[in-house]
Chains A and B, each alone.
Chain A
């Protein structure tokens, strides 16, 4: 059993789309879970549908949505304070050392983050790289395991099959509830599933039946 799980993603809603089922499974086992959220998604373009946010009100709205999602998932939340779309321009060593301090304090047995270069959004790639660097900098006997999440369309082709495939159908309802907590974002993103099929719930269920990760190999 894990001792403590830390999830490191850059945006409010990454945790719900990416790892809500996995986090719920850990919480059911009584494992503490902490979400380190990199930014407040300040530059998101979804403003709600119908629109209720603007560029200036969006960060506070997303912060409230994030707190609600973390309550739904029953996980602790820490904000890292970076700005949306800018993480790749920060000094990766500074970000890594920032994360390392937090990890040394929490002492997780498992870190979940994005797979660098295979996570589509530049913030995903940059924060994933910094998180893995943070763990690499730790003493080998104190390093937590890292599960890296790839979301590019060709990641299986490039990286092979992920070794961690969590069936989360049991937690589908809680995952949807967490996603829908991000009301400024969810309608726009879920709406994309509507393109081909009318039954959004069915599309979402098929899409959200598993959460997949690659165990990071620090030897390679």
Chain B
């Protein structure tokens, strides 16, 4: 993956507007967080291949990281801490945020076809 280029990503997000889109949204601090540090909590969530439709999409820069918000008819999709991007299989937009050790902390991925499950 490479560092996010905001204008490019905004263009790509716009291409998904008003279409049926498969989404992968995830955040994690790893399965061993509280094993390694007993004061830490294990926190994580992911949803994969939910089919959604949004009518507005925006990516915003805040210091070194980016946030993305997708406005649906009756709700929102949101991800914070994004830093890197890639187009996978010519059509899937992968956005992710990594820590200093290269570990994934958050990801938001959009595609018109389902992700492998």
Which residue numbers of A lie inside 8 Å of B, CB to CB? 43, 45-51, 54-57, 59, 83, 85, 120-123, 152-153, 187-188, 191-192
Q: Are A56 and B101 touching (Cβ within 8 A)?
A: no
Give the distance in Å from the alpha carbon of A121 to the alpha carbon of B26 in the complex: 18
Give the distance in Å from the alpha carbon of A153 to the alpha carbon of B32 in the complex: 11
| Chain A residues within an 8 Å CB radius of B116 | 56, 59
Closest 5 CB pairs of A and B: A49-B102, A51-B102, A45-B104, A45-B103, A121-B31
Interface string of B24-39 (1 = CB under 8 A from A): 1010101110011010
Q: What are 26 pairs between A and B in contact, CB < 8 Å? A: A43-B26, A43-B28, A43-B46, A45-B28, A45-B103, A45-B104, A46-B104, A47-B104, A51-B1, A51-B98, A51-B102, A54-B1, A54-B88, A55-B26, A55-B94, A55-B104, A55-B109, A56-B92, A57-B88, A83-B117, A85-B31, A85-B44, A120-B31, A120-B32, A153-B35, A188-B102
Q: Are A188 and B32 touching (Cβ within 8 A)?
A: no
Q: Main SS of chain B's interface residues?
A: strand
**In B71-103, which residues have CB < 8 Å from any A CB?**
84, 86, 88-89, 92, 94, 96, 98, 101-103
